[in-house]
Structure 1
Amino acid sequence: MQPSGNLVADTICRTAEIGLTITGAADAGNITIIDATPVAVATTCPECGHPGTKRDHVVRTLVDLPVVGFPTRLHVRVPRFLCTMASCPRKIFQASLACADDRSKLTHRVTRWVLQRLAIDRMSVAATATALGVGWELVNQVALDACRQLVYDNASHLDGVRILGVDEHVWKHTRKPGQPSNLVTILVDLTPLVDGRGPARLLDIRPGRSADVLRTWLQERDPGFREQVQVVTMDGFTGYASAVDQVLPGATKVMDPFHVVHLAADKLTGCRQRLQRETTGRRGRKDDPLYKHRRTLLTRTDYLMDLTPVW
């Protein structure tokens, strides 16, 4: 059926691809308002499946893609129906829209647009919210919900994980008394990186840094996942090691290169400080050879110039 709206406006705003046709528009300052109606609606009751009779209309407001740089609001005229089944508990029902979930404030394509701006264009949440004319909290929650759906609803998300990376990360650098830990546990699939097939994959982030955090995450996975993990890379934290010993007894524990180098550097620094105290009886000063060349001792030979004096 040919829509009765404005074909030119539908083409410019691409509303036809989301099942709407434009019937009017208005300029509300910094926001563009577009009036639209559904091209087709389902008249069957979602409760019993029987057809309904038209009762009235309601206007549903949806956030849509910006038009020429201005935030857009769709005012969709949605029909409501009376259920013809006398025994049906739902007497009145509202037609659903293909462009948005029921009770949602945003269209589906806005959700995709938000993810593209944040993940691909590296826009901030604040800039994305400003472009849509909505609050920071709404954009942040939409992005979190969409990412969770993309990750956790994917049945193959954890397939092929043979090398599991575990590390902590400081989520925020300020924490008031009584607030939860500012550390999180990050779990990464290092299999594609080791095999040369691509970069590592982020699997999950869990609040806290303890053996219980890692143990709980591993126990929540199915036995097939735990059996396929062959190597677990981590830092020197004994909590992670004990969790792996308990849940993945057949996996090999290794320390990742960063922490190996960091541990060696700490030991070398401790040795230098001990020699400084034994030879001079005090801490190092700026003219002492051991103190003066403390950074040189921790620098790779590849980065040292030929003219750089060692002593």
Structure 2
Amino acid sequence: MLKPTFTAPDLTTFTGLDGLGLRAVGQSLTPDRAIISCTVTEPDDWCHRCGCPGIPRDTLVRRLAHQPLGWRPTTLHVRVRRYRCTECGHVWRQDMSTAAEPRAKLSRTGLRWALEGIVCQHLTVARVAESLAVSWDTANTAVIAEGRRVLIAKPDRFDGVQVIGVDEHVWRHTRKGDKYVTVIIDLTPARDKTGTARLLDMVEGRSKAVFTAWLQARPQAWRDNVEVVAMDGFTGFKTAAETELPDAIEVMDPFHVTQLSGDALDRTRQRIQQETTGHRGRSGDPLYGIRRTLHTGDNLLTDKQRTRLMVAFTDERHAEVEATWCVYQEVIAAYRHPDPAEGKRIMTRLIANISKGVPKALREVITLGRTLKRRAGDILAYFDHPGTSNGPTEAINGRLEHLRGSALGFRNLANYVARSLLEAGGFRPQLHPEIG
């Protein structure tokens, strides 16, 4: 603004009190804190019981943590007048519901700021509590309660879900209790390229029964609307999806298929390493030196890497490693092919080739072939629904790992689920004007 129009200072508007039904009447500023003295604008001097007029009795001060001004903790000292009815003697105080919930320690504006800080800015609860000059428990309780009320508990949160992803997640690394939870992700925005995947829910445990119970808790219309379920190789999730979502298509995502192939390659390399040298890989061993290069796609190999592979494969004792490496490269080639139909043909041919007639020496390839044949329908379904994978699910798992690290771990699963939903549920508080 090149030519601003200046008016007299308005502390009420500047601090956002006009939307709370308050009026600023004074201030006290120190380097580490701001205190705003204010009054309630509406007199509220009619008896709430009989409707007769009341007379002022006394005044009390209610303290509320407010949105920080320049990261300086700001506290509202609200002077609340109490009245006594001239007829029935009933005593009441001015209505402050516009400014804060009953018995709350945060103003509605301060609560909105805290929730936006947690959801949008990914602040820790400790940082929010410090900025509001309240205890950690006060900030955490207020944020989670408000988040549940206006975000997590919204009835339309599950609307429009057509593609879901399911995976397990380790929420704590202790021996006490179940450390696993099942996470359910909405992959519809990622498939339709309308946004990012979002966390739908998190349930304690990892089993067929857990996922089945969660699906059964959803309305039948919602289940009928689900078209695709992306998952890893765990058969419990597949069985639950087949039972509760009979019309949905199960897709085993590329990440886990490639991981299975990579694991077979690693086990082959380790076995041949022991058979040829009598010890685990060491610096200078040919197979140990190419352990990472083996997992690089053939079209991404540099000349130096390709030369190292060829040198290792010239040793006849490493023939089994080379054969398994070729299988791994075929899996990568199928998923990286720009034409899904051709990728499907490559994968179909590969599954047929390693499902039977494989030399007994390639024991890891035989095991891989059995697994791929058993899940062939789920694996090939990916090529009919390109873009549907558990990749976004793994990305959200990474965000939850970061959340747990920022909080230095969680002990309460209910708090962890609520914080995870606020962190990765795709919420944007600024789009919800009812917050605060």
* TM-score normalised by structure 1 residue count: 0.83
1:158 shift after superposition:
0.9
1:220 partnered with 2:234:
no
1:106 shift after superposition:
0.6
1:257 partnered with 2:254:
yes
CA contact (8 A) 1:52 1:81 kept: no
* TM-score normalised by structure 2 residue count: 0.61
Report what 1:60 is aligned to.
62
1:263 and 1:49 mapped to 2: Cα distance?
A: 75
What is the letter of the counterpart of residue 253 of structure 2?
A: D
Q: Which has the higher strand share?
A: 1
Distance of aligned partners of 1:114 and 1:51 in 2 relative to their CA distance in 1, 3 Å threshold: farther
What is the letter of the counterpart of residue 62 of structure 1?
A: L
Stretches of structure 2 lacking an aligned partner (at least 5 in a row): 1-7, 313-436
Report what 2:109 is aligned to.
109
Distance of aligned partners of 1:181 and 1:51 in 2 relative to their CA distance in 1, 3 Å threshold: farther
1:16 shift after superposition:
2.0
Report what 1:168 is aligned to.
168
1:180 partnered with 2:173:
no
Could you report, residue by residue, the CA deviation over 1:13-67 in whole angstroms, capped at 9, with x for unpaired residues?
A: 2322321112233357733322211111545666x68456244333211111223
1:234 shift after superposition:
1.5
1:260 shift after superposition:
1.9
2:35 and 2:264 mapped to 1: Cα distance?
A: 66
1:166 shift after superposition:
0.9
What is the letter of the counterpart of residue 118 of structure 1?
A: I
Distance of aligned partners of 1:85 and 1:300 in 2 relative to their CA distance in 1, 3 Å threshold: farther
2:230 and 2:53 mapped to 1: Cα distance?
A: 60
Report what 1:3 is aligned to.
none
Q: Percentage identity across aligned positions?
A: 39
Distance of aligned partners of 1:95 and 1:266 in 2 relative to their CA distance in 1, 3 Å threshold: same
1:12 partnered with 2:11:
no
CA contact (8 A) 2:40 2:94 kept: no
2:34 and 2:241 mapped to 1: Cα distance?
A: 55
Report what 2:335 is aligned to.
none
Report what 1:296 is aligned to.
293
1:153 partnered with 2:118:
no
Could you report, residue by residue, the CA deviation over 1:249-287 in whole angstroms, capped at 9, with x for unpaired residues?
A: 332222222222212211222233344455556544444
1:212 and 1:68 mapped to 2: Cα distance?
A: 50
CA contact (8 A) 1:190 1:200 kept: yes
1:239 and 1:210 mapped to 2: Cα distance?
A: 6
Farther-moved stretch of structure 1 (71-80 vs 8-17): 8-17
Across the aligned residues of Structure 1 and Structure 2, the Cα RMSD in angstroms comes to: 2.9
1:304 shift after superposition:
1.9
Report what 2:429 is aligned to.
none
Distance of aligned partners of 1:224 and 1:51 in 2 relative to their CA distance in 1, 3 Å threshold: farther
Farther-moved stretch of structure 1 (237-246 vs 57-66): 237-246
2:214 and 2:53 mapped to 1: Cα distance?
A: 48
Could you report, residue by residue, the CA deviation over 1:125-146 in whole angstroms, capped at 9, with x for unpaired residues?
A: 2222211111222222333223
Residue 40 of structure 1: SS of its match in structure 2? coil
Farther-moved stretch of structure 1 (26-35 vs 236-245): 26-35
CA contact (8 A) 1:24 1:36 kept: yes
Q: Which has the higher helix share?
A: 2
Residue 14 of structure 1: SS of its match in structure 2? coil
Tell me which of the two structures has the higher relative contact order, counting C-alpha pairs closer than 8 angstroms and 6 or more residues apart. Answer: 2
What is the letter of the counterpart of residue 167 of structure 2?
A: D
1:241 partnered with 2:238:
yes
CA contact (8 A) 1:232 1:254 kept: yes
Report what 1:193 is aligned to.
190
Stretches of structure 1 lacking an aligned partner (at least 5 in a row): 1-5
